[in-house]
């Protein structure tokens, strides 16, 4: 099954345009870094949330095309290759978890994009294994963060102060652990975008 209907908000057909939705995030353009093995809810719930609040979503990966979540038979459409976008195009970044971040962190252009977005002060939100990209980008040293419990040691080794909590925000970096934390994750990301 192709999840094109559910993620049509991420397609470049105007459905994700803030002009069509209004709302507090109207005019905001949000990048989602998605790769093979993404956790479906950790991508789709935040996408739906920000679009419902008026933002536009652009799904970015190593190359355009369909990717399959590790936990379902659905597919998610990656609209743009990392080489076709610039951090200046976006107001915020979401990094869903699953196996996707481990794949994406192998691409230097994706790591550089993540680093640039974080260093710019724009909101960057990573859930579950998403902080792996932040670790590879070298932006977590001295920061408070959370993640999937199984990678807590990796977070600590990167110099982050790990806390087992539903959501941690340190400056512009927002991290969460699991799909059950999505309500806090989405609300914190929206709040950061509005500041």
CB neighbour class for 144 (10 Å; exposed up to 12, middle 13-18, buried from 19): middle
How many domains are there within the chain?
1
Output DSSP code: residue 5: T
CB neighbour class for 50 (10 Å; exposed up to 12, middle 13-18, buried from 19): buried
Range of the domain at 137: 8-194
% of the chain exceeding 70 in pLDDT = 89
Mean pLDDT of 24-53: 97
Residue 182: strand, helix, or coil = helix
Q: What is the pLDDT of residue 169?
A: 99
- The pLDDT confidence band at residue 5, using thresholds 50, 70 and 90, is very low
Residue 3 is assigned to a structural domain of this protein: no
| Active-site residue flag, 129 | yes
Residue 2 is assigned to a structural domain of this protein: no
Contacts of residue 191, Cβ cutoff 8 Å, sequence gap at least 6: none
CATH code for the domain in which residue 178 is found: 3.40.50.880
Residue 104: strand, helix, or coil = helix
pLDDT of 2 over the 50 cut: no
pLDDT in tens, 82-103: 999 999 999 999 999 999 999 9
Model confidence, pTM: 0.91
Residue 1 is assigned to a structural domain of this protein: no
pLDDT in tens, 144-170: 999 999 999 999 999 999 999 999 999
Q: What is the pLDDT of residue 21?
A: 54
Q: What is the pLDDT of residue 116?
A: 99
pLDDT in tens, 168-185: 999 999 999 999 999 999
Catalytic residue among 20, 21, 107, 129: 129
């Amino acid at each position: 099954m192709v999840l094109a209907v559910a993620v049509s908000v991420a397609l470049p057909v105007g459905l994700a345009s803030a002009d069509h939705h209004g709302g507090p995030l109207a005019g905001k353009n949000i990048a989602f870094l998605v790769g093979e093995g993404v956790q479906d809810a950790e991508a789709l719930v935040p996408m739906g949330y920000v679009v419902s609040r008026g933002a536009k979503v652009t799904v970015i990966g190593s190359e355009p095309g369909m990717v399959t979540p590790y936990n379902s038979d659905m597919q998610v459409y990656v609209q743009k290759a990392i080489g076709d976008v610039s951090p200046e195009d976006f107001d915020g970044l979401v990094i869903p978890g699953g196996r996707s971040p481990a794949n994406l962190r192998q691409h230097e252009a994706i790591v550089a994009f993540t680093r640039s977005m974080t260093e710019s002060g724009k909101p960057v939100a990573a859930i579950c294994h998403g902080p792996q990209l932040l670790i590879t980008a070298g932006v977590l040293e001295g920061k408070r963060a959370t993640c999937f419990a199984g990678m807590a040691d990796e977070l600590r080794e990167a110099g982050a102060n790990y806390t087992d909590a539903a959501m941690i925000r340190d400056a512009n970096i927002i991290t969460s652990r699991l799909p059950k934390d999505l309500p806090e994750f989405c609300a914190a990301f929206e709040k950061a975008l509005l500041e």
